[in-house]
Amino acid sequence: MLRGISPHSAVEMHAHRQSGHGTQSTSATVNQGRKFGTWTCFFMLLELVESQREGIGQRRSAAFFRAVADGIPMPRVAWQLYFRAARLLRFGTATVSLMFALQRLSRARMSLPTKLDRKAVTVLITGAGGQIGYSLIFAIARGELLGKDQPVNLHLAEVEAAMPKLRAVVMELEDCACPLLHKVVATCDDVDAFAGVDVALLVGARPRTPDMERKDLLAVNARIFERAGALLDSVASKDVKVVVVGNPANTNALIAAEHAPSIPKENFTALTRLDQNRATGAIAKRLGVSPADVKGAIIWGNHSTTQFPDVSSATVDGKPVPEAVGDEGWLRGAFTSLVQNRGKEVIEARGGAGSAASAAHAIIEHTRDWLLGSDGATVSMGVYTSAAVGGSYGIPPGLVFSLPLRTYRGGRYEVVEGLPVSEYARSRLAVTQTELLEERSKALTTTPESGAGGGGAGVEVA
């Protein structure tokens, strides 16, 4: 074993080699930079092997080597080798300061808004082998998520038992030869799955079984989303945009956000677009019009049977929906119940399988509008509340609560303020708010972690 050689020595060796060579072309400089990165990481690996005595954990070592990959130019094969080594070995104290310096470098990489239309955007799908994942994967590869000119990389995560099915999906992707699809990573290794992702679609979750109470489902999925949050915090892009689909979606999004302290809370959202689409479709069917004619349906609160589908400010062909329907009893009764319980109805009709195609369609719409902008239209998303987000409607801070929003390119959004809220509506908001507060209280008391791909192909979406 070579001793007395450090990453600093590698820099000196590189500088010595390049002295006296005069002015170089851009391509030569890039190639030499890559060689420098290779030498640097080679000696980092030697130091890593020799200083195993004191460690800081596999998760931090994985984050370190991901930072090396982002901060120092080097061939992909080289950093993959060291990334693997970091998961087997522990860092010595001599390397810790270098680790933090390189992690800071990783935070300065290209942001998602800058990547749009220029660089490949890396999209993660957990539970990718399930029915929702199957619908999502090909839609994203065709450009439906981020546009027909936006190249993408796909990271597909599954539990080990579902990997044969996922490998078959990858074969189909290869057979499609989609021009926008640059790279596919299909894995049951959650660190590899989350590494460097720009958009995380967290579909995988434990489905609720007939003998399972809601509190049990909360506890199981809390562990899955604690792990997901920690992975996002450690190895994903610091500008990552997260869409949580696995139920209970709002509280799972909250858990993931709380376990990713370096990522802004507004980067975490929960899917309620499926509920908005259900409300829009129900009104269109009732009035015998196209869903495109119905504008401004809103979902307040939790993605559960306490949600409040609100069409009091919606219009159909420019006419207020309540006026067009002309039946307040139906809007407060059958309509509300239909939207709240549609997921259960679909599960029963499909013999136990949850919404798949409609869920995937809603995920695409949610993410596309969030990242590319809603063009002034009002959309519903579960977002992290604060005094500025939801406070004007009396929603307490620290929840993931579905609100009416307008979204702007790059992932920015704002709450649609000043909508009329009747006493009846306030009573419905109070019910769904109470449920979310109870879920938060129960879920944030769990501590053990489990794999972030948990739930896999068996995920249920109501």
Please give the pLDDT value at position 181. Answer: 97
- CB atoms near residue 460 (< 10 Å): 22
What's the average model confidence in pLDDT over 199-222?
83
Nearest-angstrom CA–CA distance, 282 and 32: 62
Question: Any bridge partners for residue 153, and if so which?
Answer: 122, 183
Q: How far apart are CA 34 and CA 312, in angstroms?
A: 60
Give 370: exposed, middle or buried? Use CB within 10 Å, 0-12, 13-18, 19+: buried
Cα–Cα distance for residue pair 371/376, rounded to 1 Å? 13
Tokens representing 365 are 């719409």
**pLDDT higher than 60, residue 131:** yes
**What are the CA-CA distances from residue 109 to residues 62, 166, 237 (Å)?**
17, 30, 8
Q: What's phi and psi for 299, nearest 5 deg? A: -115, 125
State how beta strands 152-157 and 121-126 pair: parallel
Which domains does the chain carry?
A: 7-107 (no CATH), 112-270+447-458 (3.40.50.720), 273-443 (3.90.110.10)
- Average model confidence (pLDDT) across the chain: 81
Reply yes or no on whether the pLDDT at 209 is more than 50.
yes
Query: Any catalytic annotation for residue 16?
Result: no
First to last CA, the chain: 57
Q: How far apart (Å, rounded) are the C-alpha atoms in residues 1 and 141?
A: 47
Q: For the purposes of burial, counting CB atoms within 10 Å of the CB of 452, is it exposed (0-12), middle (13-18) or buried (19 or more)?
A: buried
pLDDT at 109: 56
Give the dihedral of Cα atoms 80, 71, 120, 410; nearest 10 deg: 140
State the DSSP string of 99-131: HHHHHHHHHTSPPHHHHTTTSPEEEEEETTTSH
Residue 99: predicted pLDDT: 52
The confidence score (pLDDT) of residue 112 equals: 79
pLDDT computed for residue 429 by the predictor: 98
- If one compares 246 and 29, the residue with the highest pLDDT of the two is 246
> According to the model, what pLDDT value does residue 445 have?
73
The pLDDT assigned to 268 comes to: 98
Residue whose C-alpha is closest to residue 367's, from 80, 67, 162, 139: 139
Neighbouring CB atoms inside 10 A of 93's CB total 11
The pTM of the full predicted model, rounded to 2 decimals, is 0.77
Edge to edge, what strands does the sheet with 400-408 contain?
Answer: 181-187, 152-157, 121-126, 199-202, 241-244, 268-270, 379-384, 400-408, 412-415
Q: pLDDT tens for residues 335-358?
A: 999 999 998 899 889 888 888 999
Confidence of residue 216 (pLDDT cuts 50, 70, 90): confident
Nearest Cα residue to 94 out of 135, 163, 128, 44: 44
Has residue 458 got a pLDDT over 50?
A: no
* pLDDT number for residue 8: 37
- Tell me the average pLDDT across 391-402: 97
Q: What is the pLDDT of residue 353?
A: 83
Residue pLDDT, tens place only, 299-326: 999 999 999 999 999 999 999 999 999 9
Under a CB-based contact definition with an 8 Å cutoff, are residues 120 and 114 in contact? Answer: no
Region 355-376: mean pLDDT is 97
Give residues with Cβ within 8 angstroms of 388, minimum separation 6: none
* Averaged pLDDT for residues 408-416: 97
Condensed to tens digits (0 to 9), the pLDDT of residues 162-175 reads: 999 999 999 999 99
Percent of the chain scoring above 70 in pLDDT: 71
Grouping H, G, I as helix, E, B as strand and the rest as coil, residue 205 is coil
CA dist 233 and 63 (Å) reads 9
Backbone angles phi, psi at 263, to 5 degrees: -105, 135
Burial 328-346 (b: 16+ CB within 10 A, else e): eeebeeebbebbbebbeeb
pLDDT (0 to 100) of residue 415: 98
Task: Please check the confidence at residue 449 and state whether its pLDDT lies above 50.
Answer: no
- Would strands 268-270 and 241-244 be described as parallel, antiparallel, or unpaired? parallel
Token pair for 460: 């249920």
- Which carries the bigger pLDDT value, residue 26 or residue 308? 308
Quick one: average pLDDT of 237-265?
A: 96
pLDDT in tens, 31-83: 443 444 444 555 555 544 444 433 444 444 544 454 444 444 444 445 455 55
Q: Is residue 11 pLDDT above 60, yes or no?
A: no
- Active-site residue among 8, 16, 155, 303? 303
Distance CA 248, CA 462 (A): 9
CB 186 within 8 A of CB 444: no
The mean per-residue pLDDT over the stretch 4-27 comes to 36
Query: Residue type at 453?
Result: G
Above pLDDT 90, what percent of the chain?
Answer: 63
Q: What is the largest CA-CA distance in the chain?
A: 86
Can you tell me the distance from the alpha carbon of 187 to that of 154, in angstroms, rounded to the nearest whole number? 11
Q: What is the tens place of the pLDDT at every residue in 71-126?
A: 444 444 454 555 555 555 544 444 544 554 454 444 445 677 777 767 899 999 99
